[in-house]
Amino acid sequence: MVSRVREALNKIRWHKGFDPKDYEVHILHRGALGDVKVIPASCITDILSEGFKFKDVDGGEKVIPYHRVLLIRNRVSGNVLFAKSE
């Protein structure tokens, strides 16, 4: 079964009408304020079968597994593409 997170990220990356600069991915990140880190979708460099790669502010690439994604939303319109249910 294809991950709903992966489907949403592929839609943002490849479909016309979606601009990665408008989207952000909220992930569970222990130690961050509220244990949540926000990653601009424009920083995502690869969408893998079990997670995605992104370029961090220090220039290094990190892999985030899909189960850590809490929310994917359009930061301009507020439209939510994915929200993890508790």
Sequence ranges of the domains in the chain: 4-75
- pLDDT tens for 28-80 read 998 888 899 999 999 999 999 999 999 988 889 999 999 999 999 999 999 99
This prediction has a pTM of 0.91
d(C-alpha 18, C-alpha 3), whole Å: 19
Q: Letter for the amino acid at 4?
A: R
Place of tokens 């992930």: 27
- pLDDT tens for 1-31 read 468 999 999 999 999 999 999 999 999 998 8
Q: Per-residue DSSP letters for 36-48? A: EEEEEGGGEEEE-
| Token couple for 76 | 């301009």
CATH of domain 4-75: 2.30.30
